[in-house]
Structure 1
Amino acid sequence: MVKKYSIGILFSVTGSYGTVGKSMLNGAKLACDQVNADKGFGIQLRPVEHNPGGDLSAYAPAVETMIAGGVNHIVGCYTSSSRKEVIPVFEKHDALLWYPTHYEGFESSANVIYTGAAPNHHMLPLVDYFTRNIGNRVFCVGSNYIWAWESNRVLREELALRQGSVVGERYLPVGETDVDCIIQSIFETNPDIVFNSLIGESAYAFFRAFRAACTARGIDQVKRYPVASCNLSEPELSSIGPQAIDGHLSSSVYFASIDTPANHDFVKKYQAAFPQEIVPSAEAEAAYSAVILLAKSLYQAGNDDMRAVKTCAANQRLSAPQGEVVIDPSTFHAHLTPRIGRSRGDGQFDIVFDAGSPVAPDPYLINSTSTLEAPSRRPALRIVS
């Protein structure tokens, strides 16, 4: 008899970052359908969906409700603030969060499996790339919460190792779209590159306004003030709009343009399931992979007890659309393949750097060296208060 398990799906599909949330929900639902249609998985999944609507205060109650209903495993959260909001609930009930997106690192919880990119997968390759190819004077703009704060801190330290500098740093509340003062500060400080850690509607407004402001001044924004991100994906390019989507750098472990049979198959299935979407995002692929990894672990455990499933998740392997993904048994983060893309006018990315194989996760940046070439010195330990 095939065992059936309820799993939670927790993404904000409305609100200021609803575009990303929808793509993550799509990826998770596609994986659930695949598991349920393939007898080889040996189990059936019943997704229990909750939409916090981008309201931080709604996340913990949603997790409480799902756990009270018998759900021990939840795939969800996009923002770091929402993740930190729910971790105490998972620890209280000894349930497991499968967190499927890039994040700033410097965290470890016995009740979280991190299947998205750690900072050595996205921050270090990006800093290497732009300091070698563009310049080392950087202006930072971000949403006013932990993702941007910590990303900019890591960036600042990595730049110091490369004799670079942060010439300006500005933050906006999540969802804020008044970016004129920030753009004026960029022109005044005249950086080589802009590092963007804005999310959702704030980011889309910035890209549009910055391109328009440069054009009004006769400046080729892509050449003079390129923008680099660790959180820009294909659906978000569509949200920016055709007038400002090309020429942006994004550091990620997945792009829909990856030219492999496995990814071609994934993109084809994704588009068939969600014809309103152009292509899947890195977040959609990460959510898809998280559900598949969870299903494989549930089958091996033979039950949904958190500790049993987590034991089976250690060293779990998956031939994912991005390539091989392996759960590290010591950190419970994933081995992933770093890549850097440059956005195109058609809403996809040209891949300009590919590490070629999975890189071990290093969430605290203790053992990492540059993906392209090791810097001369790196601190042995970093502590975040």
Structure 2
Amino acid sequence: MGVSGGNSRTSEPWRVGVLFSRTGFMSVIEETQLRGTLIAIDQINDNGGINGCPIEPVIYDPGSDVRSYGQYAKRLMVEDGVSTIFGCYTSSSRKAVLPVVERLDGLLWYPTLYEGFEFSPNVIYTGATPNQNSVQLCRVLMEQFGKRFFFIGSDYIYPRESNRVMRELVRNNGGTVVGERYLRLEADRSEFMPLLRDIKRAQPDVIFSTVVGESTTFLYQAYHDLGLNPKVVPIASLTTTEAEIRAMGHDVGEGHFTAASYFQGIETERNNDFVSYYHKRYGDDEPTNMCLEASYFQVNLFARTLEQTNSLDTRHLRNSVMGAEFEAPQGCVSINPVWGHADVWTRIGRANRRGQFDIVFQSQTNVTSDPYLISYGRRFELAECA
């Protein structure tokens, strides 16, 4: 039996669940996702809420423990009477929540880039999929640095599946994967040093990283300690944001690449207002990032949809959000009605000494989501390496 959505209420708040880790090894990024969620809720409530009723978040900290995400999702739906949940960073945590929302007919809003190849009528995916980040990143790296790639990742679903996609892109375009290694999610700095020595001996042109969480900081610091040069062999990532660059040190992150739908440095009035608001609330030294921004815009899309449905019923919400648009800090985004994934922008940035990213590539508009890579070309025309 599904959870009641509280149809057509006139005075009670709209209760929603929030599941992001404020403790543990994923807190470096999930804390910012929580902030993005709460900023959006506060702004909506300050403007009168939804149809006269405020949004009330019910927040739990899973502590970076995969099982806790599923347990808290069940508590939210069974004990707290919540049917809509904003949360999760890792694919492992998403997959822990997925059977709960499918069984109890809830709706998870997932604001993180991921490996694609998934669909659920109980999930709205608002992060980038491989056709919105990996394809263009591979092209840029091959053109600027060469065709020898070394893969390094955290040992769980997302890195292995993302590397599978990147491996196909590299090989289909004449490249070679000269090595592939995985370390545990909680890997510390000492575990990266011998691995980076091996990478140095393999002489790749590019290191493609799918390391996540606090271990991201340790990877880049170990790279820096060994005296490797990002002008020659950079680390390229889909997950290293301004938050991780701040944690590792701006000098450590300088010169490395990230593909993302959003960077703080986007020069638009909408983004400038967003960044200013965030800095006023959390301090000028706290950067925004793509996961924070997706957490923010998905709550706004939810709110606009709820205003129309006046109901938290999962089926009504999902049907109504399909095709919905929002002018997000990254630019106009929409929910693709075919997949229930967001059409977001493609950008590639190179970290600078200020802890921000200089944008070296940007799509002309948002890119249609294609989580199963049905329509993308297996090969692309490459310019000559510089």
Corresponding residue for residue 381 of structure 1: none
Corresponding residue for residue 81 of structure 1: 92
Residue 210 in structure 1 maps to residue 227 in structure 2: no
Distance 1:296 1:271 in 2: 25
Contact 1:161–1:375 under 8 Å retained in 2? no
Matches for 1:1-385 after TM superposition, within 5 Å? 1=10, 4-39=13-48, 41-42=50-51, 43-68=53-78, 69-177=80-188, 178-214=191-227, 219=228, 221-275=229-283, 277-369=285-377, 374=380
Q: Displacement, 1:277?
A: 4.9
Letter in 1 for 2:34: L
Extract structure 1 runs of 4+ deviating beyond 6 A: none
Contact 2:22–2:63 under 8 Å retained in 1? yes
Q: Displacement, 1:132?
A: 1.2
Q: Displacement, 1:278?
A: 2.1
Unpaired runs of 5+ residues, structure 2, are: 1-9
Distance 1:347 1:27 in 2: 20
Distance 2:49 2:217 in 1: 42
Per-residue CA deviations over 1:271-324 (Å, capped at 9, x if unaligned) read 112127522111100000111111111111111000001111111110000000
Q: Displacement, 1:191?
A: 0.2
Letter in 2 for 1:110: P
Distance 2:344 2:324 in 1: 13
Contact 1:10–1:74 under 8 Å retained in 2? yes
Distance 1:267 1:345 in 2: 19
- Cα 1:276–1:52 change in 2 (3 A) is farther
Contact 1:342–1:350 under 8 Å retained in 2? yes
Q: Secondary structure at the match of 1:156?
A: helix
Distance 2:100 2:171 in 1: 38
Distance 1:58 1:41 in 2: 30
Q: Secondary structure at the match of 1:264?
A: helix
Q: Displacement, 1:369?
A: 3.4
TM score, norm. by length of structure 2: 0.93
Distance 1:3 1:127 in 2: 49
Question: How many residues were matched structurally?
Answer: 369
Distance 2:50 2:372 in 1: 34
TM score, norm. by length of structure 1: 0.93
Unpaired runs of 5+ residues, structure 1, are: 377-385
Distance 1:369 1:300 in 2: 38
Q: Secondary structure at the match of 1:35?
A: helix
Letter in 1 for 2:322: A
- Cα 1:40–1:28 change in 2 (3 A) is closer
Contact 2:152–2:207 under 8 Å retained in 1? yes
Distance 1:111 1:195 in 2: 32
